[in-house]
Amino acid sequence: MSTAVSPLAPKKYPKMPAIEGVRMATAEAGIKYRDRTDLLAMVFDPGTSVAGVFTRSKCPSAPVDFCRQNLTAGKARVLIVNSGNANAFTGKKGRDSTAMTAEAAAKAAGCAAGDVFLASTGVIGEPLDAGKFSHLLKGLLAGAEPGGWTEAAKAIMTTDTYPKVATATVSLGGTDVTINGIAKGAGMIAPDMATMLSFVATDAPIAGPVLQDLLSRAVGKTFNAVTVDSDTSTSDTLLLFATGAASKRGAPRIEDAKDPQLGAFRRALGKILKQLALQVVRDGEGARKQIEVTVTGAKSARSAKRIALSIANSPLVKTAVAGEDANWGRVVMAVGKAGEPADRDRLSIWFGDNRLAHEGERDPAYSEEKTSAYMKRDEIRIVADIGIGRGKATVWTCDLTKEYVAINGDYRS
């Protein structure tokens, strides 16, 4: 794991309040890492509802299969997360490992295995020995306490250089409710929801189907709008838990996704998911710069997003930004190869406020000096106007540096 913290890390972290109905604990199980926590347990009060979105990979991990199966009931009592091993592409051994972990967790919590959710992150293809940590679960769950969100975020890190946390408090029917979230992810990030691992909890009393609707809608412009390296993980899991504890303080139970009382909560959830997603981008392996790519004037919003991802995922665009080179020709290339409607002679490109290309050629007012100065910033904005419609989309990525190659060249060894 990289020891240097990303230069794009947050300057300060929010104080993470406890969420009523959630207790947690972390442990050092020695799955892959030494001298750091690598196991997280969250325990939820009875009556907690759950929603989730997962990787669209055709080679999902055993925990993803397990969570999908349990999600249909819409209720949760325990979450167990390990880092250092993804338990992916592990066949029957992987299924046995999830079953053993779930049984141990259910026994410790006094609930059914169907109320347990699991997530694993790390190396693909290595069997996960649940015997390394299943015996720890009884003590871990017994010692779980409210709070500890930042410690929880540290326990799920792999090549991350800093923990990722976010919080918000909003009014639901006149009662304050809190939403907390943590995430991990630094490489193998190309969201096709979910991206990486992220766990969000609230004390709001929201029914499972409503929670699922909120989450599924919120990922499009947040986690599904970030990419580090165009590679969709086998393990992507985003889970949202609602304990309902705020009902004791007068919060109304929400049973309908169209309930007007949900407005502030919906906006706050979107904000938290975006904050976590951007923290993942800013901790992209070896990243030195955050890149925002906006495409306007496309045939449709979907087309705009595909073009934006073509630009954001281009190794040539990303290395140009790493080298602080305003090579807008690479953006032209990425627009052209996206397979979406475009017109070369209507294309305009900006880096920040500097228009580099207009109507199919270099802008007559282009200034190399001003644009080169802009490229030295640690947040770069690229805008491409396709000039043929009203479709618009924004995605976020990071630059591609030598450090990315170094981290991934010896990830297994």
Active-site residue set:
195
Please check whether residue 136 is in contact with residue 100, taking contact to mean a CB–CB distance below 8 angstroms: no
Distances from the Cα of 3 to the Cα of 36, 158, 160, 195, 313, angstroms: 13, 12, 9, 23, 26
Please check whether residue 127 is in contact with residue 110, taking contact to mean a CB–CB distance below 8 angstroms: no
Centre a 10 Å sphere on the Cβ of residue 286 and count the other Cβ atoms it contains.
Answer: 24
Angstrom distance (rounded) from CA 46 to CA 65? 23
Buried b (16+ CB within 10 A) or exposed e, 122-132: bbbebebebeb
Omega before 194 within 30 of 0, i.e. cis: yes
What φ, ψ does residue 216 adopt, rounded to 5°?
-60, -35
**What tokens does 98 get?**
């999830």
| Size (the chain), residues | 413
CA 23, 77, 142 angle in degrees (round to 5)? 45
What φ, ψ does residue 163 adopt, rounded to 5°?
-75, 150
46 Cβ neighbours under 8 A, 6+ residues apart: 77
**What tokens does 384 get?**
């491409």
**What tokens does 195 get?**
């991206």
Distances from the Cα of 237 to the Cα of 139, 219, 299, 351, angstroms: 26, 12, 32, 34
